[in-house]
Structure 1
Amino acid sequence: MTRFAKLSIVIPAYNEARTIHLILDRVRKVDLSGGINKEVIVVNDCSTDDTEGAIQRYREQHRGFDIQYYAHPVNRGKGAALHTGIARATGEYLIIQDADLEYDPREYNELLQPVLDGFADVVYGSRFQGSKPHRILFFWHTIGNRFLTTLSNAFNNLNLTDMETCYKLFRTDMVQSLSLQEQRFGFEPEVTAKISRIPNVRIYEVGISYYGRTYEEGKKIGWRDGVRAIWCIVKYGV
């Protein structure tokens, strides 16, 4: 079994004042397999609401729960927030956690299992595999996600079912070795293309649950991001 000491959890946040304390609670309460410690890194991408205040109040209320906090002085996009968090991660492995409530931190151990079993360097959590609960929402989003995943697979010679998933777990040294450029949601196809080209990288996928949000509830990705994703797949996949 693969042993390691620390998992870095990178949380990009933009205008999540209403829910950031809830996701931090879930991350704080989850116990990782094998006694692995958690390093939590929150990057506030110049939110215009009280996200910063909510994070600082949470840190005051839970002083024993170490949260590294970084704030961008201008809004740069989710990808840029992830770049900041990835660069500061010190755990042997790293997982991305959105600041909303669409993904369940209790499933970290399922993503970790292929690593602990000695099989994987990278694990994607697929919303389209397995029998876990999935909120029923947008038909065209599902079609778009499947199209982007198929296109990405064709360019990168992979057989993923969910390239656009938030839950991506990486060996930290691998993802830190990449020269990542995309500032917004183009992060997903770019990191997939570049990680797939690391010699002998072992990529696995596990099924996860998905508690999606509507736009009224705070969902941010739109059709323009889908168009950008297609451009990124072609740019980084050739």
Structure 2
Amino acid sequence: MKQDKIFLSIVIPCFNEEKTLKDIVEKVICNTKKYRIEILIVDDFSTDNSIKVINNLQKKYKFIRLLAHNNNQGKGAALRTGFNNLSDSDITIIQDADLEYDPSEYEKLIEPIIKKNSDVVYGSRFLSGSERRVLYFWHRYANGLLTFLSNVFTNLNLTDMETCYKVFKTKILKQITIEENRFGIEPEITAKISKMNLVIYEVGISYHGRTYEEGKKIGLKDAFRALFCILKYNIFR
């Protein structure tokens, strides 16, 4: 796979992210100049000015596509919509619409696919010495517990199952049917790739987490749903 020929799809689920959406899209574009790209922004029925921001971005960049939901469904549903509308790209990257994850790390995220023939890459917030904002103890503990339980059933040795940065060969991603509508997509997709005899890598990434006051959306009920999904997609499927 020649690097200058690579076609990247970046799928960005969006719900009420008018404050950060333009910045994150500009960062994505700035860090993908050597690739052919498409950016699929899936608006999950935002009630702020997110759609207006996307429309303005589309006027400037022809490779941006807007996919809009008629009602709020959740991150998993937004990603499902994005995945169902992918072009025949080489690699697909999931990118949140906030500024917690840094697109400057795309190159090292896709390197295992380019150089080592990996099928899937997870960006781990806990694997490296990269900078990480210090926030909630219980979030970190819950993440570690969910990752551990997921690993027990998948027999993978991931350090960060809940990471946003999941990167796939697009042809692999198109073989996966997403069922979860909310944050249960993380253990669901992990369970499903674990059964596909794939080459999976992890790379360390930085993380600039948000507080709830700054717009963080995941909560306790999502942790319980993730636990349910670990059991559902590993044991009952």
TM-score w.r.t. the length of structure 2 is 0.95
Q: Which residue of 1 aligns with 2:13?
A: 12
Q: Which residue of 2 aligns with 1:167?
A: 165
Deviation per residue, 1:78-126 (Å, 9 max, x gap): 0000001111112111010000000000100011111111331100000
Q: Which residue of 1 aligns with 2:119?
A: 121
Task: Indicate the SS of the match to 1:88.
Answer: coil
Q: Which residue of 2 aligns with 1:210?
A: 207
Deviation per residue, 1:18-37 (Å, 9 max, x gap): 110010110111136xx431
| Corresponding pairs, count | 233
Runs of 4+, deviation exceeding 4 Å: 1-4
Deviation per residue, 1:163-218 (Å, 9 max, x gap): 0000000111212111210000000000000011113x000000000000000000
Query: Which of 88, 107, 110 in structure 1 is aligned with 2:108?
Result: 110
**CA–CA separation in structure 2 for the residues paired with 1:190 and 1:224:** 16
**1:133-152 map, 5 Å:** 133-152=131-150
Conserved? CA contact 1:7–1:36, under 8 Å? yes
Q: Which residue of 1 aligns with 2:51?
A: 52
Q: Which residue of 1 aligns with 2:234?
A: 237
> How much identity, in percent, do the aligned residues show?
51
**1:83-98 map, 5 Å:** 83-90=80-87, 91-98=89-96
Tell me, which stretches of 5 or more residues in structure 1 are unaligned? none
Task: Indicate the SS of the match to 1:237.
Answer: helix
Tell me, which stretches of 5 or more residues in structure 2 are unaligned? none
Q: How far has the Cα of 1:2 moved from its partner?
A: 5.9
Deviation per residue, 1:124-143 (Å, 9 max, x gap): 00000111110000000000
TM-score w.r.t. the length of structure 1 is 0.95
**CA–CA separation in structure 1 for the residues paired with 2:171 and 2:193:** 11
Query: Which of 208, 224, 228 in structure 1 is aligned with 2:225?
Result: 228
**CA–CA separation in structure 2 for the residues paired with 1:104 and 1:2:** 24
